[in-house]
Amino acid sequence: MKKLSETALSAQHRLRRIEGRHNPLVKQLRQAFSRAELTEAGDCAIEGLRILEEAIRSGLRFSAVFFRESSQDRAERLLPQIGAQVETLLLPDKLFDSLVPSESPQGVAALVRLKEFSLDDVVETERLQVGPIVVLTGLQDPGNLGTILRSSEAFGSAGVVLGEGTVSPFNSKVIRASAGSVFRLPVIHGHAKSASAKVEEVSEKLRAKSVRLIATSSHKGTPLDQADLKNAVAIFFGNEGAGLSREVMSKMDEVIVIPHTAQVESLNAGVAASIVLYEAARQRK
């Protein structure tokens, strides 16, 4: 009981109470959540007890942690795992709730620095031996992206490249759906270029490494169980409704399809990617 009391006292001592909306860190958190992008300092906004614990487990650097006044017990659990130099703020419930996108806030949020990767990191020979590269173009649903990131880590993807028109990986729904995988998996953000230019750039680097380019289709192609996914491959997934553009398809070495009954027009993008990634992992074993 004494130990718990000391922990609570230590956590309370670290918390700095903030009342106003114009505090610089409060403004950074609000903007990062509302715009689904990094702050000027390069921090990403995250929320929820489990997500913060995943960030700690993943070794991310924290810039600031925000606690809801009525959820101070979260501080007792989290602060012993967070460096003493990290800003820790206590906010009134109403102010905290106005900052985070969740409809049922868990009382804790943070600004963290995600790990940075380049395309060169992903196409290293060692990474290509891990599993397939996933390339996404025009994927717009945050739940689908989060699911694909989670499955990519679970089934050993070398990394995920986000092309033009794909939802931001800093979207809070993406982070939540990824269950922390976005903190650990090499994720390459799309540049401000046209989708075709991005695909061309990616394709050239992949071909230079003797990586086969494989497109996914909902209608025709090599049945998944007959496709060779054992060696270095990059698998392209497109928009939930339109799929991959003709221009992108023209650059592919092969098109694969997941066989399913005729009554189902197509599979959910997150589900389809998970099935393909599982098959790739199965073949490699």
Question: Using CB atoms within 10 A of its CB, is residue 252 exposed (0-12), middle (13-18) or buried (19+)?
Answer: buried
Position 121 confidence tier, pLDDT thresholds 50, 70, 90? confident
pLDDT band at 2 (very low <50, low <70, confident <90, very high): very low
Sign (positive/negative) of CA torsion 166, 169, 174, 179?
Answer: positive
* Average pLDDT for 4-17: 68
The number of C-alpha atoms within 13 Å of 235 and in the hemisphere containing its C-beta is: 28
Task: Judge whether residue 127 has pLDDT over 80.
Answer: no
Bridge-partner residues for 47, per DSSP?
109
Kindly report the average pLDDT of the chain as a whole number.
88
| pLDDT for 215 beyond 90 | yes
Provide, rounded to the nearest whole percent, the portion of the chain with pLDDT above 70: 90
Unique residue bearing structure tokens 């649903």 = 141
Read off the pLDDT band of 47 (50, 70, 90).
Answer: very high
Which domains, from first to last, does the chain contain? Answer: 2-113 (3.30.1330.30), 119-284 (3.40.1280.10)
Q: Which helix (H) or strand (E) holds 187?
A: strand 187-188
Q: What pLDDT shows up at residue 194?
A: 41
The pLDDT, as a whole number, for residue 220 is 85
Summarize pLDDT for 217-231 with one digit per residue, the tens: 878 899 999 999 998
C-alpha span between 12 and 5 (Å, rounded): 11
Instruction: Please give the residue that has the higher pLDDT: either 67 or 4.
Output: 67
| Strands 133-136 and 87-91, bridge-based pairing | unpaired
Give the pLDDT score at 263: 64
Question: E strand or H helix at 52, and its extent?
Answer: helix 49-57
Q: How confident is the model at residue 27 (pLDDT cuts 50, 70, 90)?
A: very high
Q: What is the model's pLDDT at position 192?
A: 37
Helix, coil or strand: residue 178: helix
More confident position, 202 or 175: 175
187 neighbors 162 (Cβ within 8 angstroms):
yes
The rounded distance, in Å, linking the Cα atoms of 120 and 129 is: 14
CA atoms within 13 A on the CB side of 149: 32
The lowest-confidence range among 110-119, 173-182, 245-254, 264-273 is 264-273
Q: How far is CA 259 from CA 150, 226, 279, in A?
A: 23, 11, 13
- Looking at the DSSP assignment, which residues form a beta bridge with residue 243? 239
